[in-house]
Amino acid sequence: MESRVKLLGHPLHQMLVPIPAGLFVVGTVLDVIDRFTNTTWITQVTFWNIAIGIAAALIAAIFGAADWATIPAQTRAKRIGAIHGLGNVAAVVLLAGAVWLRARQEQHLTDTLSLALEVVALLMLGVTAWLGGELVDRLGVGVDEGANLNAPSSLRAKHLIERR
């Protein structure tokens, strides 16, 4: 089942997801490291990593929801997609809570609660990432109908932005 919104022949949702994922992982890992070091710059970097990651995740979610809407009802893919999307929303809400707590702190310092929210969110995102892989790799959601080992380039005879 092909993706609903593509850019240069590739699903936009799948192209955007690594951006917030990378920002969230780096932000959370550096916040854990910061607990064992005495630096002044890490909390600023991690605060903005997570804040920008939230914005990027919301943009990616728009295209994920568009793809999810085209999955036929009463299918395993529809159920997995719903859990994937709702889990991601829940994780982003936790991260937004961490950012909100830190926004009130001088130098956006990480406290125990905000760090706990980040770690739980990151664990949740690990599960939802696996579910996203299940959707694509196992259930074929977002995969071009003509996909095969010798398929022509996605740039061939495609529009710059394609919406089905």
Q: What is the pLDDT of residues 102-116, one digit of tens each?
A: 998 888 988 999 999
pLDDT of 164 reads 55
pLDDT of 162 reads 54
Structural domain spans, the chain: 5-163
pLDDT of 93 reads 98
DSSP the chain: ---SEEETTEEHHHHHTHHHHHHHHHHHHHHHHHTTS--SSHHHHHHHHHHHHHHHHHHHHHHHHHHHHTSPTTSHHHHHHHHHHHHHHHHHHHHHHHHHHHHTSGGG---HHHHHHHHHHHHHHHHHHHHHHIIIIIT-TT--TT-STTPPPTTTT--SEEE-
CA gap 13, 89 in Å, rounded: 15
Residue type, 11: P
- Here the tokens at position 41 are 């710059």
pLDDT of 163 reads 55
Q: Which residues of the chain have pLDDT under 70?
A: 1-2, 156-164
pLDDT of 121 reads 98
Q: What angle do CA 19, 13, 78 make, to 5 degrees?
A: 130
Q: pLDDT tens digits, residue range 92-105? A: 999 999 999 999 88
Start-to-end CA distance of the chain, whole Å, equals: 11
Q: Which phi and psi (to 5°) does residue 163 adopt?
A: -130, 125
pLDDT of 17 reads 94
pLDDT of 153 reads 78
Chain centroid to CA 74:
25
pLDDT of 159 reads 47
pTM of the shown model: 0.87
